[in-house]
Amino acid sequence: MSMEIHNTIWESLGCYVYAYIDPNNSQIRYIGKGTGNRALSHINSRDDSEKVKWIQSLRKRGQEPQIDIIARNLTEVVALLVERSLIDAIGIGPGKLTNQIRGQDVEDGRETLHEIAIRHNPEPAEFKHNILMLRLNQHWRQNMSDGELYDITRGVWKLGKKRERVEVVLAIVNGLVVKVYIPESWHQAGTTEYLHIHPDIDGRDMQEWISEFADRCEFIGREATKEEHLEYLYKDVSWYYKKGERTSRRYTFD
């Protein structure tokens, strides 16, 4: 991208939020935040992300993405909030944003009114089974299909042999149980078929990815149908985590 921008321009923006725009239809295809010339950092990237594939597809047609500055001179906290809110509002996926995750600090991001109502009158879950809770916050988004939600829940995780005793897996978003699964078998990460997403979120070669995460695993299972398991759905489990805890996986049994 042949663009000469004087450093004083970048300095005048401070911490900012930017967007990559499709020149064919003015659609926003990527949201990011940064300082300095961060907004140009994706132009010559060579990774295998959806964002880069989209940029390369434009270049094959002799086009370049338009880069817009959405907000400028923000604090880091506000920039994160604006970035996350825009990603949540537009959505990730085919025909939407090419971002891979919703952004950072998504605990207070987009939710349905139903979920907010539950949170204001939380009913704590009572654990009656050997449960594995998996927090999906960064890779979860509104309006995911059941298949997409299943795929991001089942892999990939660093779990020991204790996983074999798990009876129920709870998919957790913002402290609430959004789906209940019954695991039927456990496998090495990357060795089972993902029908709705690709487990390689970093865009690397699959064999390299499997090798790097050889100590991680994924499960094959099904949605819970029994009433005793569905009792966990939309229950509050936030109390089970310490404030500020970043742990994504947690067992409810010893």
Among the four given CATH numbers 3.30.390.30, 3.40.1440.10, 3.40.50.720, 3.40.50.300, the one describing domain 7-90:
3.40.1440.10
Average of pLDDT values for 37-61?
91
Predicted local confidence at residue 212, as pLDDT: 67
pLDDT per position as a tens digit, 142-197: 777 899 899 989 988 999 999 999 999 999 988 899 999 999 999 988 888 888 76
The beta-carbon contacts of 104-107 under 8 Å, at least 24 apart in sequence, are: 104/80, 104/138, 105/80, 106/137, 106/138, 106/174, 107/137, 107/174, 107/175
Q: Give me 189's structure tokens.
A: 């990460």
For residue 211, is pLDDT > 80? no
Give the strand pairing for 15-21 and 66-74: antiparallel
Distance CA 31, CA 241 (A): 30
pLDDT per position as a tens digit, 140-153: 777 778 998 999 89
- What whole-number percentage of the chain has pLDDT above 90? 56
Average of pLDDT values for 9-36?
95
Per-residue CA distances from 32 to 40, 60, 174 (Å)? 11, 24, 22
Domain chopping of the chain, boundaries: 7-90, 113-251
Distance CA 136, CA 134 (A): 6
For residue 1, is pLDDT > 50? no
Distance CA 138, CA 173 (A): 9
